Amino acid sequence: MKKNVLIVDDFEPNLLVLESILEDLPISIIKAVNGEDALRILLNQPIDLILLDIKLPDINGYEVARMIRKHKKSKSMPIIFLSGFVDQEYSEFIEEYSNNIDFFQKPFDSDELRKQVKHYLNHK
């Protein structure tokens, strides 16, 4: 069965870039444009991996990730953060939750991102 990958970014061209990078993998790509949208999708369908932009217009990526981790069914779901810069909040986040978390700084190496996505999906 195809794995479901949720990609979250408020800037549509970035979603299309992620889709272009990942679309030839055997996965279904589901898109969300803000934190609330992402959480609603997570409640309603099984997701195997989330690629999460930090700077979202409503709830920031770390808050979304905290809510994901609080749910039993998603407490070990792999999360790949995507952001233009590494900030203090990331260090705080990984102190709290280090399991299955990764961070790619934009502009990221698309081969590395694909590799990491495949790694997470193969080890679930």
Q: Between 70 and 109, how does the x/- string for binding to other proteins read (CB under 8 A)?
A: --------------x---------------------xxxx
20 binds other proteins (CB under 8 A): yes
- C-alpha distances in angstroms, 37 versus 41, 42, 63, 79, 105? 6, 9, 13, 16, 23
CB of 95 to other proteins, least distance (A): 28
Nearer to other proteins, 46 or 84 (CB): 84
Nearer to other proteins, 31 or 66 (CB): 31
Nearer to other proteins, 76 or 105 (CB): 105
CB of 46 to other proteins, least distance (A): 26
Q: Contact positions toward other proteins, by CB under 8 A?
A: 12-14, 16-17, 19-21, 23, 84, 106-111
